[in-house]
Structure 1
Amino acid sequence: MTDVVLFEERLCDNGKRIGIATLNSERSLNALSGDMVDALYPKLLDWHRNDEIAVVFLQGSGEKSFCAGGDIVNLFNEMKSHPGEYAPAIEDYFTREYKLDYLIHTFNKPFIVWGNGIVMGGGLGMMVGASHRVVTESSRIAMPEISIGLYPDVGGTFFLNKMPDNCGLFLGLTGASINAADAKYTGLADFFIQADKKQALLEQLISIKWGDTVALNHDKLSDAMNELERLSNSAVPVSHIRAQKSLIDQVTEHHNLADVVDAITSAEVDDKWFNKAQKSLAHGSAVSGHLVYQQLKVGKSMSLADCFRMELSLSVKCGQYGEFYEGVRALLIDKDSNPQWKYKNIADVDAKTIDWFFTPKWKEAQHPLAQLG
């Protein structure tokens, strides 16, 4: 069997090493399987502790995708086996995934994610935690969970709240796909480097005079990336969000979810990107819309660790409730694009249902992620 993640260490000119990890499932667009998580976590932890490793470089195989999301087909099968019930395997998968994401967020040395091609869901959860997040001319980034009855997890509570203005709310509700320029504007990425300069970057990593001072190593890496970004500037795409910033501000300024959703879906604008976002929201799960709105509201002042703890409870309950199951069925299993959501619109959703989602599943000491942070 082929290894789901490939690991390599390259010797630098001054004796330090680069750790390179490659998600190796090009056929699935490098969707993050449980086996990938199980391979990545111990190796990254080893590199985290190894003083000989100066920097880590994480990429996806092929040119189409860094990582297109989590292994939701496998999660679907678990939900199918436990209809309307708690599914232990779902808790296990999300627990391991969030531990991996948190490790990347808190890594003690420069960590590069090469966010080329598709970066969605679980892929973004890994990328956003890196210290040096690279996007290219082909980067296509989204948290499209509203279309499958889920919500923006993998730390979305934390990083969507960090975005300027109400961009996080807009992207969470619509699942809109954004490009490299948008990713830099919203704080999801740090550097724009053309895809054909990846080898040049790797060669520079070998020649950098890495030391034992982490802060200086970060600066040395940033200097190298800034130079490659300067050489790539002519290829930067036009930002969708910047082009529609005033409209996004206008539709998200309301103080309740129903008004925000109505403003987004009823806005009259001749823009393909915004129109696609409108359709995604209109056809998405009303329950998911409420989860997005509430997670951003209650998560504003939460630490990263507390965000992951809240999300684990939400994700396990999503696996139990049925909306997530129906969304995946319609999009990826039967592919009829006709999900039968439990509620037709935002106004119909019972407040008690949303309260149930946000009632913690575990006491603090018993939480599977109690050791984070």
Structure 2
Amino acid sequence: MNETPIIIEERTAAGGHRIGVATLNAPRSLNALTLPMIERLRPQLEAWAEDPGIACVVLMGAGEKAFCAGGDVVSMYHAIRENPGGPVPFAERFFEQEYRLDYAIHTFPKPILVWGHGVVMGGGLGLLVGASHRVVTEHAKVAMPEITIGLYPDVAGTWFLNRMPGRIGLFLGLTGARMNAADTLYTGLADYLITADRRDAVLSALADIAWEDDPELNRGHLSVALRRFADASRAARPASNVLRHLDLIDHVTDHHSVRGILDALEGYAGEDDWVDAARATLAAGSPTSARVILEQYRRGRHLSLKEVFMRELNMSVRCVRGHDYPEGVRALLVDKDRNPRWDPPSVEAVSDELVESFFLPAEGLEENPLRDL
């Protein structure tokens, strides 16, 4: 396997055009997004955007297990331990550059296809959700489980959770509930379900498209091609857990506090593995994260995409300089004892002042680095 963090290819297509293909190349870590990956991919996207010969871009992951399991939080953890409670230049640069990459995908001027196979979580979902054409396979495992490490659904979670039907986004953000391929279609995170064994055929079909110089027409050409493969994959669509539990989600999120939502989940009388996992994640997650996520959702409804990334950068810096984020990463991914010592230790102990601090400029971010987006 090529050792470079991103494999860059250009494939010849009909009519003299080319297709840019970028592959996240760290299958052993489930293609966890590293700073070198980010710093290689964003300039390449910018170059392809400016190249009139590039008609379409494809982003996918190496290996059979994952598109991208999230950001490289272990490296951030080690950087944080060098200056606990204070500025952490590496971690803060990581978040800034990651959000710039996500924004570039959201605003890319040409059709961009992301192939969401296998695990698509956290930072991986940030790459997927902004693309013009978002494909998931029947093996997709999608979630924003940041509450388990003392973070919150970032990478534009403020944006896409608020755009899901009803209050589904709030439920998913608080519980980190895992979505299957059908769930991503229903919630608007993906556009097409295409079986994994058709990936090479899809790439071959893209090379046969009579691409034009108009990006808008090319978006249509790509949509028509992908729909053909999606129609052939209908039999692989699983039942949607989100849709099946919509009534429960509505009733639980009628409560306007984390404690009320958690109590409502605790009182759920059914025997259901999906709900049990969601309940357990919220109950065991960072109490501070839970309260911040609820406030993130409430305050984010009317923000522009740029405002979302600016706010999330500030929130992430607050997490980096706080207690629960490094402690959550330690417990889940470093020491792996799965026994985080949250501080404050309960939802009731989290003060309104602490929650409010996540929405105020962190020291050094009075002039937000993303204000130029």
- Residue 265 of structure 1 and its aligned partner are, at CA, apart by 3.2
Alignment of 1:158-197 (within 5 A): 158-197=159-198
Deviations 1:259-310 (A, max 9, x none): 1222123322211111111101110000000111111111110000100000
Provide the C-alpha distance between the structure 2 equivalents of 1:358 and 1:273, rounded to a whole number of angstroms. Answer: 32
- Residue 258 of structure 1 and its aligned partner are, at CA, apart by 2.4
Partner of 1:323: 324
Partner of 2:153: 152
What SS class does the counterpart of residue 366 from structure 1 fall into?
coil
Deviations 1:295-339 (A, max 9, x none): 111111000010000000000110111100110010011111100
What SS class does the counterpart of residue 343 from structure 1 fall into?
coil
Provide the C-alpha distance between the structure 1 equivalents of 2:37 and 2:151, rounded to a whole number of angstroms. Answer: 22
Alignment of 1:178-327 (within 5 A): 178-327=179-328
Provide the C-alpha distance between the structure 2 equivalents of 1:305 and 1:269, rounded to a whole number of angstroms. Answer: 41
Does the aligned pair in 2 maintain the 1:120–1:142 contact within 8 Å?
yes
* Structure 2 residue identity aligned to 1:113: V
What SS class does the counterpart of residue 321 from structure 1 fall into?
coil
- Residue 362 of structure 1 and its aligned partner are, at CA, apart by 6.7
Partner of 1:129: 130
What SS class does the counterpart of residue 8 from structure 2 fall into?
strand
Does residue 86 (structure 1) correspond to residue 82 (structure 2)? The answer is no
- Residue 49 of structure 1 and its aligned partner are, at CA, apart by 1.1
Provide the C-alpha distance between the structure 2 equivalents of 1:88 and 1:280, rounded to a whole number of angstroms. Answer: 30
Does residue 54 (structure 1) correspond to residue 55 (structure 2)? The answer is yes
* Structure 2 residue identity aligned to 1:301: H
Deviations 1:57-98 (A, max 9, x none): 000000100000000000000111111112121111100000
* Structure 1 residue identity aligned to 2:233: S
Does the aligned pair in 2 maintain the 1:265–1:282 contact within 8 Å?
no
Does the aligned pair in 2 maintain the 1:70–1:123 contact within 8 Å?
yes
TM-score by length of 2: 0.98
What SS class does the counterpart of residue 11 from structure 2 fall into?
strand
Partner of 2:32: 31
Q: Any unmatched runs of 5+ in structure 1?
A: none
- Residue 363 of structure 1 and its aligned partner are, at CA, apart by 8.7
**Change in CA separation of 1:297 and 1:363 when aligned onto 2, cut-off 3 Å:** farther
- Residue 364 of structure 1 and its aligned partner are, at CA, apart by 8.4
Deviations 1:119-172 (A, max 9, x none): 000000010000000001100000000000000000000000000011100000
TM-score by length of 1: 0.98
Provide the C-alpha distance between the structure 2 equivalents of 1:275 and 1:256, rounded to a whole number of angstroms. Answer: 20
Provide the C-alpha distance between the structure 2 equivalents of 1:63 and 1:227, rounded to a whole number of angstroms. Answer: 23
| Range 16-25 or range 253-262, more displaced | 253-262
* Structure 1 residue identity aligned to 2:176: G
User: Structure 1 segments of 4 or more deviating over 4 A?
Assistant: 362-365
Superposition RMSD on alpha carbons, in Å?
Answer: 1.2
- Residue 51 of structure 1 and its aligned partner are, at CA, apart by 1.1
Does the aligned pair in 2 maintain the 1:149–1:284 contact within 8 Å?
yes
Partner of 2:335: 334
Provide the C-alpha distance between the structure 1 equivalents of 2:270 and 2:248, rounded to a whole number of angstroms. Answer: 9
- Residue 356 of structure 1 and its aligned partner are, at CA, apart by 1.2
Provide the C-alpha distance between the structure 2 equivalents of 1:49 and 1:265, rounded to a whole number of angstroms. Answer: 53
Does the aligned pair in 2 maintain the 1:166–1:249 contact within 8 Å?
yes
- Residue 205 of structure 1 and its aligned partner are, at CA, apart by 0.5
What SS class does the counterpart of residue 238 from structure 2 fall into?
coil
Provide the C-alpha distance between the structure 1 equivalents of 2:256 and 2:325, rounded to a whole number of angstroms. Answer: 27
Provide the C-alpha distance between the structure 2 equivalents of 1:156 and 1:344, rounded to a whole number of angstroms. Answer: 25
Provide the C-alpha distance between the structure 2 equivalents of 1:95 and 1:84, rounded to a whole number of angstroms. Answer: 19
Does the aligned pair in 1 maintain the 2:314–2:365 contact within 8 Å?
no
Provide the C-alpha distance between the structure 1 equivalents of 2:238 and 2:54, rounded to a whole number of angstroms. Answer: 34
What SS class does the counterpart of residue 133 from structure 1 fall into?
strand
- Residue 2 of structure 1 and its aligned partner are, at CA, apart by 1.6
What SS class does the counterpart of residue 141 from structure 1 fall into?
strand
**Change in CA separation of 1:365 and 1:317 when aligned onto 2, cut-off 3 Å:** closer
Does residue 14 (structure 1) correspond to residue 15 (structure 2)? The answer is yes
Alignment of 1:65-104 (within 5 A): 65-104=66-105
Provide the C-alpha distance between the structure 1 equivalents of 2:179 and 2:309, rounded to a whole number of angstroms. Answer: 24
Provide the C-alpha distance between the structure 2 equivalents of 1:364 and 1:64, rounded to a whole number of angstroms. Answer: 38
| Range 91-100 or range 254-263, more displaced | 254-263
Does the aligned pair in 2 maintain the 1:8–1:20 contact within 8 Å?
yes
Provide the C-alpha distance between the structure 2 equivalents of 1:301 and 1:258, rounded to a whole number of angstroms. Answer: 25
Provide the C-alpha distance between the structure 1 equivalents of 2:158 and 2:42, rounded to a whole number of angstroms. Answer: 22
